[in-house]
Structure 1
Amino acid sequence: MGQQEATYDHRAIEERWQREWDDADVFRVPDDAEDPEYVLAMFPYTSGQLHMGHVRNYAITDAFARYRRMDGEEVLHPMGWDSFGLPAENAAEERDTNPREWTERCIEQMRDQFESLGFGYDWEREVTTCDPDYYKWNQWLFTEFRENDLVERQAATVNWCPSCETVLADEQVEGDDELCWRCDTPVTERDLDQWFFKTTEYADDLLESIDDLDGWPTNVRDMQRNWIGRTDGAEVPFTLHTPDGDEDVVAFTTRLDTIHGATYFALAPDHPLAEAAAERDDDVAHFVEEVADPDGDEPQGVRTDITATNPATGEEIPVVVADFVLSDVGTGALMAVPAHDERDHEFAQSHDLPIRQVVEPEDEADADAVDVQEAAYTEDGVLVDSGDYSGLDSETAREELTADIGGAESAVQYQLRDWGVSRQRYWGTPIPIVHCEDCGPVSVPDEDLPVELPEFVHTTGNPLDAAEDWKHTECPECGEPAVRETDTMDTFVDSSWYFLRFTSPDLDDAPFDVDRANDWMPVDEYVGGIEHAVMHLLYSRFVTKAFADLDMLDHREPFEALTTQGMVLGEDGTKMSKSKGNGVSPERITEEYGADTARLFTLRAARPDKDFPWSEEGVRSSRAFLERLLSMAREVDAGATTSDLDPAGEYVARETAATVADATEYFDEMEFNRAVQAVDELVSLLVRYRDRDSVDESVVARGVEVAVKLLAPVAPHVTEECWTTMGGDGFVAEADWPTPDRDVSDHDKATRLVEQTREDVRDIVDTAGIEDPTGVDVVTAPEWMYDVLELAKDADGNVVGSVMSDESLQRHGEDAADYAKDLAAQAPAFPDVLGPDAERATLERAAWLVESEFDAPVRVLAADEADDDVASKAEPGRPAIHVHEG
């Protein structure tokens, strides 16, 4: 890159400061730190390759951590590796290696990439989930939860490849034909005993505490609520009449007020009574085995030889098996009311089942417009054709029916299901259970943890099941021969508590130091992808609450504030991916432009939660910005001082102070794009000011120092170089965050005034066609007009009357009345302006901007200093302008 490298040798600069930070332990947090600011990015899966999305995610947390450190906080900013999981197992299979070797190579490569980007992690706290020292505590957690009745074993349906003789994850089932990813054999389903964490025990707690997560995005909180999916209703028993006898089956409904309109009863395809019907009836068997499609667009089903008695009417109604009824939702059975449910209505029409209206709108005119034969009426209303309940409103009817129907009772259903943690794979935490014929499933004693993985065996089935020496053991209770559990844990277990381990990563006798975790938790700022907005966050919340109930933690929520970062898109606006060929290599960007350029571009392009397209031009612009800042730092007179600034110098000094105030607010809100824009505008102003004939070097020095400090969290390497060049003490990474050295509370008003005035001058010059202005007069309004404005703001509707009743304003006669009328027309949106003295002082300080733009002298005049025909046009916040020419 030739001349560019001579200006900014990013390779040398980055290597130097990374080495210096490491030698000085800049980012290390001592164990005795008191409640450090905990900033955390969701730790990465060890794929071995970073992409620009990674760079953005980790640049966000690094910038915020660096800002908080400069702002005086001790900061905990750790990093670790989510290193178990199926992709590593697949990669090992493809490369004829083992998952551990593959994972360790990936970790080494990714750590190098993180370090080359200058991310300020406390590497002494690094955790790796596939390390036995870590997953020992997954096993301990499993045992502890089991002892406290938070773990159970039950049958669950899994994907099964009969050729490979193994369970497949959903992502290993490929295509519409549902074939095994490895051998293309059609995948079947099989029921296997699985281990579950009882998340449903915490359903209400998980749901209700969402309201307290003020620092979380609204959409994520809504996703959590929807996933938990609480539904209030009633359970009511229907008696089903089968060839084998009568049996009561409970149905859950949110609309018990419609029970008189239930014209059929529906069972899930895998309901025991449906399976019994399939054994008796070939049509039912065919539907259950071949046709039923819960994900289909249309509700499908088949009649059975079973009938049901409606408990409210005594009517006998048909029973169907339908694929829109799910065994794990509600009770796997429902009363169908086609007149008042769209799905029930569609099914009734296609199967010629009765549609009977029992609820109508309260308004008679609306009731006449309802035809339930054409479409279901699904709103609450007034009951009709419902016996003694006719005439009741829906809510009252629900209450009375619940009380009156035998066996009916109020009930709550959740969409949330218990967390199945069993995985039939090798590369995960072994579940610490031994199966004994006499004792049943027995937990491995704590003193025998960790149960380490055996050597990897290439096999078509589960490698743990093939590890005979490892699998066969003794029962911890009776000492008889027993078999180890060959399932491993869901990797979400690893990530459900890793943020706690960072507080004490080397602790040998507990998963985390309780006192320290209580002091340092919750995580103050957590950043990660929206794809983890449900499962990972929900499981982390569940585990945190469980730890709290085990008296191991004072906190019931793990993350106080959450940011879900947007994606980096290709230049075509679509998601970056190798298959689309629109990916950008972080290595190329850091090699060609530097790590700071990559960080700066990803943070200045958009707010953290917004997507943005990659732009090579944007990268080059970011690089140019850093070069300009470095050049200014090398040229600045850092020792310059002054005691008295001219108006132009005071203007720049105030803009510097305002930039500090604005950027600090933006950093607090993690709006790095706006913070960078503010610094960019300050640097541009400093360049313009430095080009004047009369420059106060202390103003430039202060401005550059501020720009360097404000940009330090975003572009840490080049700002360290700038800081040292300017003679700064220590590291800028440890320097004090700047504070405004002037009162800038009125800065927004001043900025609007200056920009409006400059625009007015431009409009006059352009409209009048003035090619060579010889001077510009800027005339402020007379003081009495500011008094009129203040009176108008306080007037209770009668602006003109309030103004003209003021004796001091009456002497201005029609002028005051006319201005009052103008203000009355604007009410209540009155101009928000500076006072007369502050307005004039602001314009005097900014006059140099107009002078440099038009190469003409500028005078700022009070109204009584200017010609009446000019002064009469001035108003508060909108000075009059006169441009001289010739």
Structure 2
Amino acid sequence: MTRYNHARVQEYWQYVWDAEGVYEVPDDAADPTYVLGMFPYTSGTLHMGHVRNYAITDAYARYRSLRGDEVLQPMGWDAFGLPAENAAYERDTDPESWTRSCIDQMREELETMGFGYDWSREVTTCDPEYYRWNQYLFKQFYEEDLVEYTGARVNWCPDCETVLADAQVERPDGAEAENSAVDHAHAAGVCWRCETPVERRELDQWFFTITDYAEELDAGLDDLAEWPDSVRDIQRNWIGRQEGAHVSFDVTDPDGDTDTEVDVFTTRLDTVHGATFVALSPGHDLARAVTETDDDVAEYVDDMTSAGADAGGTSGVETDLTATHPITGEELPVYVAAYVLDDVGTGAVMGVPAHNERDHAFADAQDLPVEQVVEPVDGSGTDLPGAPYTDDGMLTDSGEYDGLASSAARERLLGADGVESATEYRLRDWLISRQRYWGTPIPMIHCEDCGRVPVPDEDLPVELPPYVRTAGNPLEESEEWKSVECPECGGPAERETDTMDTFVDSSWYFLRFCSPDLDSAPFESERANDWLPVDVYVGGEEHAILHLLYIRFFTRALADLGLLDTREPVERLINQGTVLYDGEKMSSSKGNAIAPHEYGAETTRLFLLSAAHPAQDFEWTVKSVGDVYDFQQRLYAMVADRDDVATREESAPQDAYLGREIDRTITAVAEEYERFRFHRVVSETQRFARLLRRYAEYGPVDEATYERGLRALTRFVAPMAPYLGEEMWNLLDTDGMVVEAEWPAVAEAIDDYELERRLVDRTLDDVRDITEVVDIDDPGTIEIVVAEDWKYRAYEHVRGADPGDAVVGSALDDDAIGEDGDRAAEYLGELAGQAGALEPVLDAERELAVLEAAGWLFADEFGAAIEVRRADADDDLAGKAEPAKPAIHID
């Protein structure tokens, strides 16, 4: 068998593709199909996760090109970030040198893998030409009040020595308890990069006010029909929309010197009569005010401000304040408690220990009363006071509301004094400040006289100074860079030394690909409006609340700035699963990583695509990789050795069958490509290749039909294995390259091709079963008898009937069915017993034609004479033949 050596040809085809510019999309393209894989972080080398993502993206992009689309598939580099800074520190170099070397290595590896990128649109986020526009957009957001500079308790990683956004704190499994953002916020968390336990610090920081878009981001999820439900659910939970009520408590101190209102948010207004205390977060304005006169509260607030997110537990301190219940008038104690967060809800809660788990735990620790006001409707009782009852029920000890169901009580209570309906979101503003060097400098200047002043546009980009090796933030040590004149007053001032979260870089990079060299704006708006949204975006589900939420926010903000028309950046999202080895995620840190080039570019690509659905995890096995390698060799040999196949001029029945199967496979493969089921594409291609080989081995072939099959086969595999596809296309003496070819056309459209295949496959299986059971080694004749016409009519009558219809009687009224009398009634009775489970079938004429055309397959496998015919009433086999299940007799 002629052997295929991809290493020998890949450099040639890379050169030809580049020389011909086959992947470059002109700027005047009307509406290219935009296919994008999430660009990689510049970690140094490609890993299998990268290759799986880009193999999926590239296969679909190449398929759409075969279908005649202009396809935009660019590539760039997520090049800023703390890992590069740490790597440079460890290697005694600077982050830029390290990052540039990583990019060179990874670009070479991507090219070797044969991915069809438009490299003329390459962007690198650490280039000043790119991050200049981060700074420009920051200023635009600032002018539109989408940026806030404020003191806040923030997540601090002591190892990375920087703050983290909420979404960058990893929580333990199960932290997101039902009906409570507070539960999640208080769960212990670790840094998403280094897994160091996170602390809480009070710092002045820069935020993007993503909460301004909370309602729209939540509502927009309903329109993302082509996003995985799991991603939409993750985002919906993170945004955390909750319908409830604000309840206002009047708060005073013993001397009457403090007179203020404290608002609490609750989703369980029906439990309001069970409130036995009010608790404030350590960061609440009122708690801070009390620290000025109460040393115990001051000490507690100070301890909790610097503690980790879970350090406070059920601790708290009682103040000398009292809160007046707005409905009962009861005086309640006011506590400062660690379990209440200032950035969740209103930063205050009404403690209802009988009906809330956290309130109950706090009350138990502080020896506070537990008052039940909701009981089960069925009278089954509760575990109170030992454990809270948290379900809905019927109100008790709630005054005029006694006896109401929880839902009805919530509606009635909305009319009470001090109560009003409210909607709260769990989503917090996006903290973008990072106390690190390797990121986009925030374009702000601090002046003692003028305050915070934006850097003028003409002074952008604010470039990073030379790297200074230091344990903290190198920008703080760069005095010359830091010292500037105030743009407003000309006096001495200092640059902002925080850099932007790297997720800012990736929140709009897909727009820069539209016009990567534009010097007057971040992107050309008219072109972006033509090309967006991204048609297909491929990446991991782990980015659901980081990158994928941020790009939705950015796109909306840019639309409101008048820079975009679209408000959703991505139409279709594809998540890829994990590559496992010995049951664990393949990772260099686990010592189980396999380099993508170890088994060759196309073997690796084909295996990653054929192993499972893109969204599923799967196990890397050497045997399976070997099977894929052998598959490539067989495909190549079929084309390379085709001159050895004998041909004939006269037509034969198998020619028509092969022609029909070519049409069936073209249709099937196209459907699987559109559904991103590449494992099924490979299965279809393997099936078709086996049939082609069998056709060639059965006898002399019709040259035109066989060549058509080989050309179709080549285009089936080319999007997944492009070097192999080009070599096969070249050997077929076809003009041009397969990358620029058209998808094979069908001679006759077949919408229900699966029915034809299923019929042939089942009939072959039935013949095999008979020969095995009866032990027939050398059958002489095989009769395949198709059912009578009236049975098909009866079958469709029952299959199409509504549940409960008297199908037997109504079918017998049909003369074409009823003339068979008792036979028809008996058959209809059998069908009626299967109503609802009957599959679609071909009609009688088509079933006969399909089996006649497939007769050569039976003859080839069993070495027998084949007779395919229609049954009639006097036929002994007529009673056994049914639609889609012909009767079989073997001599």
Q: Which segments of 5 or more consecutive residues in structure 2 lack a partner in the other structure?
A: 173-186
The match for 1:405 is 417
- List per-residue Cα deviations over 1:712-746 (Å, max 9, x = no partner): 11011111010011011111011001122123234
Equivalent residues of 2:132, 2:460 under 8 A apart: yes
What is the TM-score of this pair, normalised by structure 2? 0.92
TM-aligned CA distance change 1:333 to 1:159, over 3 Å = closer
How big is the shift at 1:242?
Answer: 3.5
2:152 alignment partner, one of 149, 156, 163: 156
Change (3 A) 1:501 1:625: same
Letter aligned with residue 789 of structure 2:
E
> Which residue in 1 is equivalent to 2:402?
390
What secondary structure sits across from 1:561 in the alignment?
Answer: strand
Residue 662 (structure 1) shift: 0.7
In the alignment of these two chains, the number of paired residues is 869
Please point out which of 812, 824, 829 is paired with 2:820. Answer: 812
Give, as a single letter, the amino acid of the residue that structure 2 aligns with 1:61. Answer: T
Q: CA deviation at 1:448?
A: 0.9
Q: 1:415 aligns with which of 422, 426, 432?
A: 426
Amino acid at match of 2:464: L
- The one of 342, 349, 358 aligned to 1:334: 349
- Render the CA deviation track for 1:151-186: whole Å, top value 9, x for unaligned: 111013356799x99646699999999999999999
Deviations 1:304-331 (A, max 9, x none): 4443222211212223333221111112
Partner of 1:574: 584
Aligned twin of 2:175: none
**1:94, CA displacement in angstroms?**
0.8
Q: Which residue of 1 aligns with 2:655?
A: 649
Q: Does residue 289 of structure 1 match 2:328?
A: no
Q: Higher mean Cα deviation, 107-116 or 856-865?
A: 856-865
Change (3 A) 1:776 1:518: same
- Specify the SS of the correspondent of 1:226: helix
How many angstroms does 1:789 deviate by?
Answer: 3.1
Runs of 4+ in 1 over 6 A off after TM superposition: 159-162, 170-188, 290-293, 638-644
Q: 1:186-265, aligned counterparts within 5 Å?
A: 190-242=201-253, 245-246=257-258, 247-265=260-278
Q: Deviations over 1:16-37 (max 9, x none)?
A: 1111100000000001000111
Q: 1:174 to 1:424 in 2, by over 3 A?
A: farther
Distance between the aligned counterparts of 1:124 and 1:131, measured in 2? Answer: 16
Which of 550-559 and 614-623 deviates more?
A: 614-623
Pick the aligned partner of 2:598 from 588, 591, 601: 588
2:177 paired residue number:
none
1:429 to 430, 435, 440: 440
- Distance in 1 separating the partners of 2:346 and 2:787: 77
Are residues 1:88 and 2:100 paired?
no
| TM-superposed deviation, 1:629 | 1.0
Q: Which residue of 2 aligns with 1:495?
A: 506
Distance between the aligned counterparts of 1:551 and 1:809, measured in 2? 68
Look up the SS of the partner of 2:782 in the other structure: strand
Matches for 1:160-559 after TM superposition, within 5 Å: 167=162, 190-242=201-253, 245-246=257-258, 247-274=260-287, 276=290, 280=294, 282=296, 285=299, 289=303, 294-295=309-310, 299-361=314-376, 363=377, 366-367=378-379, 369-370=381-382, 372-406=384-418, 408-559=419-570
Number of the residue aligned with 2:890: 883
Question: Once structures 1 and 2 are overlaid, which stretch shifts more, 641-650 or 724-733?
Answer: 641-650
The equivalent position to 2:841 in structure 1, one of 822, 833, 850, is 833
Residue of structure 1 in register with 2:746 after alignment: 740
Letter matched to residue 40 of structure 2: P
Question: Normalising by the residue count of structure 1, what TM-score does the alignment of the two structures yield?
Answer: 0.92
Alpha-carbon shift at residue 194 of structure 1 (Å) = 1.0
AA at the equivalent of 2:592: N
**Structure 1 residue 622, shift from structure 2 partner:** 1.1
Deviation, structure 1 residue 89: 0.6
1:633 equivalent in structure 2: 639
Aligned equivalents of 1:739, 1:640: Cα separation in 2: 26
Return the alpha-carbon distance in structure 1 between the equivalents of residues 522 and 546 of structure 2. Answer: 22
Please say if residues 174 and 180 of structure 1, whose CA atoms lie closer than 8 Å, have aligned partners that are also in contact. Answer: no
Match of 1:139 in 2: 135
Q: Is the 8 A contact 2:786 2:871 kept in 1?
A: yes
Change beyond 3 A, Cα 1:151–1:694: same
Distance 1:187 1:695 in 2: 71
Take 2:656 and 2:192, find their aligned partners in 1: how far apart are those partners?
70
Q: Distance in 2 between matches of 1:676 and 1:184?
A: 40
- Would the aligned equivalents of 1:284 and 1:304 in 2 still touch at CA under 8 Å? no
Identity of aligned residues (%): 54
State the Cα deviation string for residues 214-252 of structure 1 (Å, max 9, x = none): 111111111111111112222222233436733432212
Per mean C-alpha deviation after superposition, the further-off stretch among 142-151 and 807-816 is 807-816
Asked if structure 2 preserves the Cα contact closer than 8 Å seen for 1:640 and 1:701, the reply is no
Distance 1:766 1:173 in 2: 59
Structure-to-structure mapping, 1:771-786, within 5 angstroms: 771-786=777-792
Q: How does 1:6-45 map to 2 (within 5 A)?
A: 7-45=3-41
| Superposition deviation, residue 838 in structure 1 | 1.6
C-alpha distance in structure 2 between counterparts of 1:766 and 1:399, whole Å: 72
**Range that drifts further, 379-388 or 595-604:** 379-388
- Stretch deviating more after TM superposition (392-401 or 257-266): 392-401
Distance change (3 Å), C-alpha of 1:241 and 1:748:
same
Residue 90 of structure 2 aligns with an amino acid whose one-letter code is E
Displacement after TM superposition at 1:480 (Å)? 1.3
CA pair 834-92 structure 1, distance change in 2 beyond 3 A? same
CA drift at 1:784: 3.5
Partner of 2:575: 564
CA positional deviation for 1:817: 2.9
| CA deviation string 1:41-60 (max 9, x = no partner) | 11100111101111110111
CA–CA distance in 2 between the matches of 1:47 and 1:186?
Answer: 24
- Measure the CA separation in 1 of the matches of 2:668 and 2:649: 26
- Residue pair 1:637, 1:698 contacting (<8 A) in 2 also: no
Give 1:337 deviation, angstroms: 1.2
Q: 1:50 maps to which residue?
A: 46
Return the letter of the residue paired with 1:779: V
Distance 1:793 1:402 in 2: 54
Name the aligned partner's letter for residue 388 of structure 2. Answer: A
Encode CA deviations 1:636-664: one digit per residue, 9 max, x unaligned. 36999999742222112111111100111
Mapped partners of 1:493, 1:180: distance in 2: 18
Q: Which moved more, 1:785-794 or 1:845-854?
A: 785-794
Conservation of the 8 A alpha-carbon contact between 1:638 and 1:727: no
Instruction: Tell me the amino acid that sits aligned with residue 671 of structure 1.
Output: R
Q: 1:41, 1:57 within 8 Å by CA — same for their partners in 2?
A: yes
Q: Retained in 1: the 8 A contact 2:199–2:309? A: no
Superposition pairs for residues 839-878 of structure 1, below 5 Å?
Answer: 839-864=847-872, 868-878=875-885
Give the C-alpha shift of residue 288 in structure 1.
6.6
Shift of 1:411: 2.2
Show the 5 A alignment for 1:568-717.
568-570=579-581, 572-590=582-600, 595-636=601-642, 645-717=651-723
Measure, in 2, the Cα distance between the counterparts of 1:137 and 1:202. Answer: 22
Q: What letter matches 1:481 in structure 2? A: P
